A and B are shown apart, each in its own frame.
Chain A
Amino acid sequence: MRNLIAFLWKNYFFFLFVALEVVAYFLIINNNFYQRRVIINSTNDMLGNVFEGFDNFSEYLSLSKANRILSEENARFYNMRPESFIKNDTTTFFIDDTLYNRRFKYIAAKVISNSVTRRNNYLKLDKGRNHGLKPDMAVITSDGVVGQIIEVSDNFSSVMSILNNNSRISVKLKNANHVGSLFWDGTDYRMGTLVDIPSHVLISKGDTVVTSGFSHIFPEGKYIGIVEDFNIGTGDSFYSIGVKFSVDYNKIYYVYAVENLLRDELLQLDENKIAE
């Protein structure tokens, strides 16, 4: 026993190194590999406040751009108001219509930190549990899809960007209606890769790519980008398609968190199917 202690003591540098690496390894496994089971992360309020303070400064520098985007968005919403439409039909209808159930709820939030240069990128929003944000809600902007919420604290939330090794989004080609899977290969933050589109589908450059809505997270038909290039490897039966994102991820200021109000019901259905 004494020899063992002496041995450990003599080589403590090595053993301390191994111990610290093991600690780091467990932290990585618990917090990175299973993204959704994040225990301690930067969403906690103290760090959120640091980011918010810093962001207030950088936001000041980009006010004009943010204003322009907001006013464009305002204009679009004005266009959607009932006053902007003329009523053509004369059929009677009930105001309290039960034919329509609200399926998606939008909550506006501000981005307080963002990155595009890492292999795994995250955003932080200034809204959290208190404002109704929950993990697995979709995050979109007026131009397209941003990512999904992975962790919320009382006042802040972390979003896994589309620009992340762990991000897979179910998308479809708007014209062909074929469904594939979109991920990011880590090279260029303006380009994503779309796979699983079978080779018999006719694609052309400029085709629109939208969300499929199959994941129960994103609403169907949200704009993602356009086809920039595509190819089939020899002997492959699926395309590899380069998609140019519609959103410039390096300048996102205001986003909407989208809650699928029927998600639990859909997941319940999936679970029942598996159980059978």
Chain B
Amino acid sequence: MAGKTIIRFIVLLLLQVLVFNNVDFNSYVYPAFYVYFILLLPFETAGWLLLLSSFLMGLSVDFFTNSLGINAAASTFTAFLRPALFKLLKSKKEYVPGITPGIKDLGFRWFFAYALILIFAHHSVLFFLEIFNFNDALQTIHRIIASSVATIILVLLTQAFFNKKEK
């Protein structure tokens, strides 16, 4: 499990800095796909490890984008929300150790709500920190929504693709 998570860390980091940071979707759309790493950390991940690994993920992305601290802050915030969100989102299944927060173990509706809330929270912090003022709040919100939609589509597609493969 740990090895898989480390590999996922590296792959998502490379995908983010080499692919998603360079693909020109639209000036409003910037999919921070690396959040997928935080989404998929196992349930039994200790609190400190959850926060530190998310912080590290954000910081690594920051190193490549000349925006030191911004992605780190957004990722840490996302990680902080995660345990509370688990309590909030009821699932038919217990969160037993060994299952991962994914469509396969907990169903589409659960995962969709989970991913949507965390991605939206992450992008909100990210884009407001990047602008660092509230003058063009409407434009920033526009940007947050468009990017969140893009990220969640990518996350759901990835989920669908990898679930099929494992069957």
Contacts and interface: CB of A to CB of B under 8 A. Distances in A.
A153 B29 CA distance: 31
A266 interface: no
A267 interface: no
Contacts of B166: none
A115 interface: yes
Contacts of B70: 24, 28, 32
- Residue in A41, A58, A116 with the greatest tally of chain B CB atoms within 10 Å: A41
A250 interface: yes
A189 B69 CA distance: 25
Contacts of B16: none
B24 A26 contact: no
Contact of B24 (A20, A27, A113, A117): A117
B155 to A, nearest CB: 19
B68 A27 contact: yes
Given A24-B76, A186-B139, A31 B69 contact: yes
Contacts of B72: 20, 23-24, 27
A32 B68 contact: yes
A229 interface: no
A47 B63 contact: yes
A27 to B, nearest CB: 3
A237 interface: no
A120 interface: yes
B131 A21 contact: no
B94 interface: no
A47 B68 CA distance: 14
Interface residues of A, number: 41
A17 interface: yes
- Residue in B30, B62, B66 with the greatest tally of chain A CB atoms within 10 Å: B66
Given A28-B73, A31-B69, A120-B130, A20 B51 contact: yes
A142 interface: no
A196 to B, nearest CB: 17
B48 interface: yes
A12 B47 CA distance: 8
The 4 A-B pairs at the shortest CB distance, nearest first, are namely A27-B69, A24-B73, A28-B69, A31-B68
Interface of A: 12-14, 16-17, 20-21, 23-33, 38, 40-42, 47, 54, 58, 113, 115-120, 122, 158, 165, 185-189, 250
Interface of B: 18, 21-22, 24-27, 29-30, 47-48, 51-52, 55, 58-59, 62-70, 72-73, 76-77, 79-80, 83, 127, 129-132, 136, 139, 143
